[in-house]
Structures are given as C-alpha cells and as structure tokens.
Amino acid sequence: MHADEEELLLESRCLLMTEFIEAAHRAASTNATILLTGDSGTGKNAFARQIHRWSRRREAPFLSVDCAAIPEHLHESDPFEDLKNTLAALQADREGRHDVSDSATLLLDNLVDLPPAAQARLLQFVEERQALPNLPASGLRFRIIAASSRDLGGEVAAGHFRSDLFYRINVIALRIPTLVERRRDIPVLAAHLLARAAPRITQHRLHLSAGAVATMANYHWPGNVRELRNAIERAAVLCASDLITEEHLPSDVRIARQRRTFIEGKPLTSLEEVERSHIVDVLKGSSTMEQAAAALGINISTLWRKRKLYKIE
C-alpha cells in the first residue's frame, strides 16, 4: 500500500482497530521510537505518515528508507551515508532551532530485510544519531519509526536479526490488525476505496450491491487492504453499469463465500457477534456493571467501551 494512494480511515467499528488507532495517537505525542508491525498490505507506511502528522513534528520532513531496496554493494560499507548527509543538510537549514517540533521523522521500512552487516551499521547509526558528521553537538533529534511485516522477536530467536538492534527499535510496539480482524470495517472501507477509484476508471458513479458487500465481508483477505483495493479497482473496470455485483469480484473472493456460507448446516457467526451476544447475556444476569465486568474478566472502562462499540443499551 502506497501512502499517497491510500487515505487512512481513522474511524473504525472494530474494537481492536480502535485500540490500535488510540495507541498510535498517544505514541505520536512522544519522542520514543515506534515499531510498527502487521501483515503485508495492512498500511504500515501509511500509518507511519499519519503518526508523523499527529506529532509535534508535523511541519518537519518525513524521511523514508526502504531497507529492502538498499543496494547489496552498500551492505558492507555504509548504506546510511546518504541519509546522514540529508540529516546534516536539514540541520544546517534549521540552525539555531532547538524545539522538538523541528525534528524530522525517519521511517525505516522493511527493517527485517536488512542483512547482518547492514544491521550492524544501522545499530551504530541509531546509537550515534546525536553525533552525526557535520552536525553540532546537539545533533538532529529525529524520531525513528521502524516497520516490519514479520515478527522481529521471532527473527531474533531464529538468529536472523540482532537482539541489540531489536531492543533499540522495540520501544513502543504497535501491531496493525489484519483486515479479517476488522471485518466489520470492510463495507465502509470498500465504499471508501470505490469512491476513490471510480473517477479514475469510469464516468459513472458506482455503487456496491448488498451481495457484493456480503461476499467481500466473508473473504479472508490475505493481502489485506491492498488486496481489497485491487479487487475494488478490478470490479470498477469490469462493471458496465453503475452497480458492482458479486460477478465483478475476483473468483477467489466469490468462491470463498460459497465455502464459508455454512459449516455443518449452521450459518457462520463472527467473533465480534459472539462477544456481543455474550456481553448482553452477562449484563442481563448481573445486578451491577461491576459484577458484569468481574464476570467477564475485564475492567469497568473496557466494558463501557465495548457497550458503546456494540451499541448495547
């Protein structure tokens, strides 16, 4: 997902996504290093930019380094030399300014793809960022956001990633939920993506049929929001009228719904629907909110938040 192609929807009906957005918003106001993880297509790059916009650095530069794209011949030398020069130039432009709002945000994308030699260089760069060449003693107080589609802790355990670099980067860890974990958001996301795609593809104002929405909501989306966007654009191209139906969606998406419609003759129920039903039952059998929260094993504030999310009176 490219940040310039994907406008983030910061409203969600999914508790897990809501909690992620709230945590990211709080983290943005700090100076701490952030580690963004999440499956491919969940929007790590886009959320990194959003965190920058939420922060006091919003008027400062946002720099991005794709660690997977660093040329192999630089791995043994210094793959971050150009970045250091860029930071030095930024510091020169901001000479005399010392407010944190003047600090840049640096995204280290695809961090897990760095080979061992480059990891050592990055560790040195992170540890010495207050004393970069050609910078005054104060250095440029830039904020680091690292992003990885694989579990860095697991990579450390497997011996593929330096533990000392991992502990430098893993200060505030935020995992972006997969699309299947925020299934209730799929109809809104699909409509949003269609509204963006349609003007580039057709002169018609396109709409999604109820069947198309239901089909998309039942698919597991291994490519997450990126795959959903591609499916929507494909449907917009194939649609000859103003209504996108199931037949315009990719075959994998259509077949998945047919397979998931019934299990042992019973309609499928989402995890959120099960949770809502259980909370309703516990509330009915409890005399107070405190008693209900205790029975559910959560605190009062979490219960209130879930009641609001699920519209439980």
Which segments of the chain have a pLDDT < 50? 1-6, 100-101, 130-138, 262-264
The tens digit of pLDDT for each residue in 222-267 reads 999 999 999 999 999 999 899 999 999 999 898 866 555 544 455 5
Per DSSP, helices labelled H in the chain are: 15-28, 44-54, 81-93, 116-127, 152-157, 163-169, 186-201, 210-218, 224-238, 251-260, 271-284, 289-296, 300-309
Segments of the chain assigned to CATH 3.40.50.300: 15-175
What pLDDT is recorded for position 4?
Answer: 39
**Contact call for residues 125 and 84 (beta carbons, < 8 A):** yes
pTM of the model: 0.74
Token duo for residue 264? 């042992």
Residue burial 91-127, b: 16+ Cβ < 10 Å; e: rest:
beebeeeeeeebbbbbbbbbbbebeeebbbbbbebbe
The hierarchical CATH code for the domain 15-175 is 3.40.50.300
Under CATH, what is the fold of the domain 180-267? Helicase, Ruva Protein; domain 3 (1.10.8)
Domain ranges in the chain with CATH number 1.10.8.60: 180-267
Per-residue pLDDT tens for 72-107?
Answer: 666 566 667 667 667 666 655 655 555 544 578 999
Q: What is the pLDDT of residue 129?
A: 60
Report d(CA 292, CA 289) in Å as an integer. 5
pLDDT given at position 205: 86
